[in-house]
Amino acid sequence: MDLRVSAKDLIPNHLTMALYNHAAVWDDEPDLWPRGYYTNGHIMVDAEKMSKSKGNFLMMLETVNKYSADATRFACADAGDTLDDANFSRDTANAAIVSLSNESAWIKEILVDTDKSTLRSGELNFMDTVLQNETNRLVKATEDAFEAMQFREGLQKGWFEMTIARNQYKSYCKDSGIAVHEGVVRKWCESLVVIMCTICPHW
């Protein structure tokens, strides 16, 4: 077994016992023992513990029906990476529905619907190189985070910081009275789509 994903309250009982069991049954075959455990904290909803008395339970199906599978996954990824309690924020899920849809609309608008001849190409100006460099930096940072199962960190880099970089680029171009650079924007868009397919595969 490569990885067992569980919750932190099981560390002192079940997860430890499972290690003992493996060690007892396969005492001279350590390669059959679990290779990795990953645990997370309890899941809160809007920073409150889910409880019967408060009635603030979120059921999986209900949540998916309400926010869509992707926005639910987005809010789960954003909920937290550590052993601290993870926080599922309804606002984050709601905002994700809108921002995911806005991004795909923007990509389509700028690279499909816009007349290509109105976009810039060729030599890069200062801000073009900045967006290109941010794309390089953030794709790598997201990859590193995902490989370490740090999904909140990955979302921070691969979505939030990516869109911040693009927003600055957009207003820089607008304020300078120039069109965006097709090649640089295309690389940013293609990278964003692939990055986000990991967390929002139905986006």
Partner 1 sequence: MNRSETVWKSLGKEGLAIRAPWPTVGEEDKLLTRQAKFLRDSMKIFRTATGKAKKGWKTATILVADNYPQWKVDALLWMQSSYDKSTGSFPPTFMKDLKDWTANNVTDKKKIKLTMQFVSFMKKEVDDVGEMAMDTTSPFDQLAIMNESLAYIKSQLNLEEVNASRVDDPELAVPDKIAGNVMPGKPVLWLR
87 binds partner 1 per the rule CB under 8 A: no
Q: Which residue has the tokens 């904290």?
A: 41
108 binds partner 1 per the rule CB under 8 A: yes
CA distance 187 to 203: 19
User: Which stretches of 148-181 are DSSP H helices?
Assistant: 151-155, 162-175
Site residue total, partner 1 (CB under 8 A)? 41
Query: 188: exposed, middle or buried (C-beta count within 10 Å: 0-12, 13-18, 19+)?
Result: buried
Binding to partner 1 (CB under 8 A) within 114-173 occurs at 125-127, 129-130, 132-137, 139-140, 143, 168, 171-172
Please list the residues that pair with 44 across neighbouring strands.
49, 87
Span from 51-59, 87-95, 148-156, 182-190 in contact with partner 1 (CB under 8 A): 182-190
Of 111 and 119, which has the nearer Cβ to partner 1?
111
Binding to partner 1 (CB under 8 A) within 33-62 occurs at none
Contact 50, 56 (CB under 8 A): yes
Read off the amino acid at residue 55.
Answer: G
CB of 174 to partner 1, least distance (A): 8
Radius of gyration of the chain (CA): 22
Give contact residues for partner 1 (rule: CB under 8 A).
100-101, 104, 107-108, 111-112, 125-127, 129-130, 132-137, 139-140, 143, 168, 171-172, 175-177, 186-187, 189-191, 193-197, 200-203
